[in-house]
Chain A
Amino acid sequence: MKKFVFAIFVLVASIGLAGCSQDTGDIVNIYTDRHYDTDQVLYDKFTEETGITVNVLKAGSDELLEKLENEGKDTQADLLITSDVGRLYRAGTRGLTQPFVSAVVEENVPKHLRATDNMWTALTVRARIIAYSLERVQPQELSTYEALTDPEWEGRVLVRSSGNIYNQSLLASFIALNGEEASKTWAQGIVKNMARSPEGNDRDQMKAVVAGDGDVAIVNTYYVGKLLNSSDKYEVEVGEKIGVFFPNQETNGTHINISGAALTQHAKHKEAAIALLEFLTGEKAQSDYANANYEYPVNPSVEPSELLQSFGDFDIQEIDLSLLGEYNEEAVKIFNEIGWK
């Protein structure tokens, strides 16, 4: 029996100790919803260069916001990184982030990829494009997101469920550009033209296009890159049978979303955090992002990877990206109302 009691004591003591991590030296603590191994490699490089330790907590962005809010002034997080601008905006409106000024970041990142109030900066860009079957669709047939609601596309459009943030941001951008009614009509039109009820992820949509379940899919450029560079040769074949079309080039541009970062309201390692932001938007890190993860760099002096260049140049949607956050809730409601699963 004594052994048993002793074992319990040791267990309890060990969790107590596990809870104590010392807070010495230069560190920066990150809450992030980006979970790529390439990000960790970048953080490691930063540590190597500056001697600043980077601690990471990865979870869903919304859960992280909730955590940040509850921790209040006691939070350990210095930086919030999310792969959607809407969440950065929301963090700002909830008073969880603070503006930051850095000449280096300003030089690295063009103005339209930073918050007007200096609340966040973009780190990478992805475009939500129309992926089409090279066999059955001519690029001339494609023009805008709006045109996908035309009768000729009935039963041919593939897109994932509305619970996905990329779709929410896309619709939010339409609300910002065209107003609520037009956006609702668009969403209804897409639902009417869907090849099947939404299921699976972005890669699944493209596979379904190549399999002939539908002819076009609304997906992120980033996932086209993932397919073409997959370790599975069948996925590479799927990628090769997919065409990339940047919609709305004649009108208001292709919808983009960003991964971005913001300084938390109660950041305790402000300088280290800003140093990390300067590093991540700098040329070296940007070219890593661009080459390893098939995302567009935000730093104009860094060329996109060869693959992304092969997709061609495109004009982006000219809206204040914060609006994607502002209209997110509206977008979710529209999806619910019109029954986009």
Chain B
Amino acid sequence: MFIKFKDRGLSPLFIIVSIIIACIVLPSVFIFVRLIHPPTQAWQHIKEFVLLDYIKNSLILVLGTSVVAGILGVFFAWSVSRYSWRWNGVLEILLFLPMAIPPYIAGYVYGGIFTPFGTLDRILDRLNITPIRIDILSMGGAIFVFGIFLMPYVMLVTKGFFERMPKNIEESSLLLGKTPTQTFFRVILPMARGALVGGIVLVMLEVLNDFGLVEYFGIKTFSTAIYTTWFGLSDVDSAIRLAASLMSLVIIILLIEQFFRGRGKLSQPRAVADRGKKRKASRGYTLIFYGVTSLYIAVAVVIPMLQLLWWSLIAKQTSVMRRFVSIMANTLFVGVLVTVFVIISGILIGNLHRLKPGFLSKIYSRIVILGYSIPASIIAIAVFVSFVALDRSLAGIYNTLGLKSLFLSGSVIVLVFALTIRFMAIGYNNIESGFSKMGKNYYEASKLLGRGEWQTFYYVDYPMLKPALVSAAILTFVDVIKELPLTLILRPFNFDTLATRVFTYAGDEMIHEASVYSLLIVGVSMIALIILMRIKNGVKHD
């Protein structure tokens, strides 16, 4: 039966993938339909008074953050993958940990340290030093926070590239008389640009989508603009217009990424075997590395953790931990479920892309990223509207089954769905690169030897894909745990997660209480990171 389908190009895989893609496209359709509405008066007002500022601020923020995260990320990725250090494994985990701290929480932490009567003031006060005033709630401060805490996204991607790069390229360059520095900047870095841009794109998307931090820091960006337009001016159409501008910006960024990646692929080495052993670094480099790394870990891990810990300790414990068990259960439930869905969909789409590299499957593999380019608040409404429509069309069935009228949209299903399409891009990027490295040879060999699809996947593809799947799972799970706007609006009654608790406390300026839950988010993410890193490293050494 499958063969018949295949003759017509309609394999079950293709059909399932098409359904997944249709779901992902859903919110975008919503946006484009709304774009047909003529511009409102408010849109005129926005264009005249604020749009230019929004664009300028967003660009400065994105570029500044990319530079900080890019330089740091490449430095750490290169150092860790090329040289051997004492406590290598621990160092690597420490360098990834900042990813577990959501930028909005980091923003509150650094705000709390540097604002008047903040932690810094208190320490200086104890030491009888006149306080210094650093205006952290500014553009510079925002770039600092984003850059520091989003660095691991760049590191994760570039490190993978450096590790697969054969040693002979570097050796040839050195033999031909270039110094190690020249070799790095003239040979290695240009080769790594595809991976680097891939990591930076993730950082850019995170920054463009952030709302909490820019709101607190008082920086007007696209995402704050979408909020004030939608809610302040109660003009959904203009908000969607803004969202569409943001989407085009993101699509341009993605096209640039494709361009770099495409060219990078030509020179991307296939051989992994002759990676060579990790070297010992020179004295000077060792000094720089330990200096920069300890400074980074202090700023991005130790200081924020201490601050959160201290705040948690002075939080009024009266009702902070109310319903804690259900909050934890909800968070893990949503996190695991969405991660599983993202991984399964990613495998299906990636596999189709690999086995049938046609025009349609290429488009499919690009569309996946759409969910990540749309502001979360817009996805929320788009998904919600679609589910309400679905519910209404199923009203007859609900009646016979005795279900509530908005059964799906009032349940956690709509939340899981929205989160899955939102974070598909993050997971898929990793899975796709895993597939592209594998090629088709092993698959075909297995099929020739008489194994079926499932068996081939399980015994041949899956073990090779495992490292990529683990990376995808890390990124997706941590992002879901941190996610805010979608969860806030799409969750059912009495459904709290760690992130929504942080939001509700922080929104009410109860930072001490909020930090209890921030710490829990960081803790859960850290445990997930450590577990997954171990799985991944285990795979590597096999």
Cα distance, A333 to B234, chains bound together (Å): 12
Q: For the complex, is A163 an interface residue (Cβ under 8 Å from B)?
A: yes
A204 touches B111 (CB 8 A): yes
- CB proximity to A under 8 Å, residues B189-237: 215-218, 220, 224, 227-228, 230-234, 236
Give the B interface residue count (CB, 8 A). 79
Name the CB-closest residue of A to B485: A63
> Closest CB-CB distance, B75 to chain A, in whole Å?
31
A58 touches B137 (CB 8 A): no
> Closest CB-CB distance, A161 to chain B, in whole Å?
5
Name the CB-closest residue of B to A208: B116
Q: For the complex, is A210 an interface residue (Cβ under 8 Å from B)?
A: yes
Q: For the complex, is B245 an interface residue (Cβ under 8 Å from A)?
A: no
Give the A interface residue count (CB, 8 A). 67
B416 touches A62 (CB 8 A): no
Among the interface residues A41, A66, A90, A328, which one has the most CB atoms of the partner chain B within 10 A?
A66
Q: For the complex, is A114 an interface residue (Cβ under 8 Å from B)?
A: no
B217 touches A226 (CB 8 A): no
Which listed segment binds B: A67-75, A116-124, A149-157, A256-264? Answer: A67-75
> Which of B45, B111, B218, B458 is the one whose CB lies under 8 Å from A197?
B218
- CB proximity to A under 8 Å, residues B333-353: 333, 337, 340, 344
Cα distance, A114 to B262, chains bound together (Å): 64
> Which of B215, B404, B489 is the one whose CB lies under 8 Å from A76?
B404
Contacts of A199 in B (CB 8 A): 135, 137-138, 216-218
> Which of B121, B216, B227 is the one whose CB lies under 8 Å from A200?
B216
Provide the main secondary structure of the chain B interface: helix
Contacts of B49 in A (CB 8 A): 336-337
Name the CB-closest residue of B to A339: B49
Name the CB-closest residue of A to B385: A70
- With A67-B384, A232-B512 as known contacts, state yes or no: A55 contacts B232, CB within 8 Å: no
Cα distance, A23 to B402, chains bound together (Å): 10
> Which of A11, A160, A232, A238 is the one whose CB lies under 8 Å from B314?
A232
Cα distance, A226 to B492, chains bound together (Å): 30
Which listed segment binds A: B8-16, B18-26, B424-432, B500-508? Answer: B500-508
> Which of A1, A58, A202, A234 is the one whose CB lies under 8 Å from B504?
A58
B493 touches A40 (CB 8 A): no
Q: For the complex, is B297 an interface residue (Cβ under 8 Å from A)?
A: no
- CB proximity to B under 8 Å, residues A1-43: 1, 8, 11, 15-16, 18-21, 23, 29, 35-37, 40-41
Cα distance, A16 to B407, chains bound together (Å): 10
A19 touches B411 (CB 8 A): yes
Cα distance, A198 to B50, chains bound together (Å): 16
Contacts of B216 in A (CB 8 A): 199-201
Q: For the complex, is B83 an interface residue (Cβ under 8 Å from A)?
A: no
> Closest CB-CB distance, B485 to chain A, in whole Å?
8
- With A74-B388, A204-B111 as known contacts, state yes or no: A163 contacts B410, CB within 8 Å: no
> Closest CB-CB distance, A273 to chain B, in whole Å?
14
Cα distance, A20 to B458, chains bound together (Å): 35
Q: For the complex, is B363 an interface residue (Cβ under 8 Å from A)?
A: no
Contacts of B117 in A (CB 8 A): 207, 210-211, 234-235, 237-238
- CB proximity to B under 8 Å, residues A159-177: 160-161, 163, 168
> Which of B50, B217, B322, B412 is the one whose CB lies under 8 Å from A37?
B322
> Closest CB-CB distance, A158 to chain B, in whole Å?
11
Contacts of B111 in A (CB 8 A): 200, 204
Name the CB-closest residue of A to B228: A163
Name the CB-closest residue of B to A35: B504
Cα distance, A60 to B230, chains bound together (Å): 12
A-B contact count (CB 8 A): 168
Q: For the complex, is B408 an interface residue (Cβ under 8 Å from A)?
A: yes
A1 touches B416 (CB 8 A): no
> Closest CB-CB distance, B70 to chain A, in whole Å?
27
A29 touches B412 (CB 8 A): no
> Closest CB-CB distance, B431 to chain A, in whole Å?
17
- CB proximity to A under 8 Å, residues B297-355: 314-316, 318-320, 322, 333, 337, 340, 344
A74 touches B319 (CB 8 A): no
Contacts of A41 in B (CB 8 A): 319
Name the CB-closest residue of B to A233: B314
Name the CB-closest residue of B to A226: B509
Q: For the complex, is B293 an interface residue (Cβ under 8 Å from A)?
A: no
- With A29-B493, A59-B488 as known contacts, state yes or no: A341 contacts B218, CB within 8 Å: yes
Contacts of A213 in B (CB 8 A): 116, 133
> Closest CB-CB distance, A92 to chain B, in whole Å?
13
> Which of B121, B233, B384 is the one whose CB lies under 8 Å from A70?
B384
Q: For the complex, is A329 an interface residue (Cβ under 8 Å from B)?
A: yes
Contacts of A104 in B (CB 8 A): none
Name the CB-closest residue of B to A202: B509
B405 touches A74 (CB 8 A): yes
> Which of A19, A58, A333 is the one whose CB lies under 8 Å from B233?
A333
Contacts of B412 in A (CB 8 A): 15, 18-19
B408 touches A19 (CB 8 A): yes
> Closest CB-CB distance, B226 to chain A, in whole Å?
12
Cα distance, A156 to B400, chains bound together (Å): 67
For the complex of A and B, the 3 pairs showing the least CB-CB separation, nearest first, are A19-B411, A211-B116, A35-B504
Sample 16 A-B pairs with CB under 8 A, ordered by A number. A1-B455, A15-B411, A19-B410, A55-B494, A56-B493, A74-B406, A163-B232, A200-B115, A201-B216, A204-B111, A204-B116, A204-B137, A207-B116, A328-B232, A329-B234, A336-B50
> Which B residues have a C-beta under 8 Å from some C-beta of A?
42, 45-46, 49-50, 111, 115-117, 121-122, 131, 133, 135, 137-138, 215-218, 220, 224, 227-228, 230-234, 236, 314-316, 318-320, 322, 333, 337, 340, 344, 377, 380-381, 384-385, 388, 391-392, 403-413, 416, 454-455, 458, 488-489, 491-495, 500, 504-505, 507-510, 512
> Which A residues have a C-beta under 8 Å from some C-beta of B?
1, 8, 11, 15-16, 18-21, 23, 29, 35-37, 40-41, 55-60, 62-63, 66-67, 70-72, 74-76, 90, 160-161, 163, 168, 196-204, 207-208, 210-211, 213, 223, 226, 230-232, 234-235, 237-238, 328-329, 332-333, 336-337, 341
Apart from A59-B488, A163-B228, A211-B131: 13 A-B pairs, beta carbons within 8 A:
A8-B344, A20-B411, A35-B504, A37-B320, A59-B489, A201-B509, A226-B510, A232-B512, A238-B117, A329-B42, A336-B45, A336-B50, A341-B220
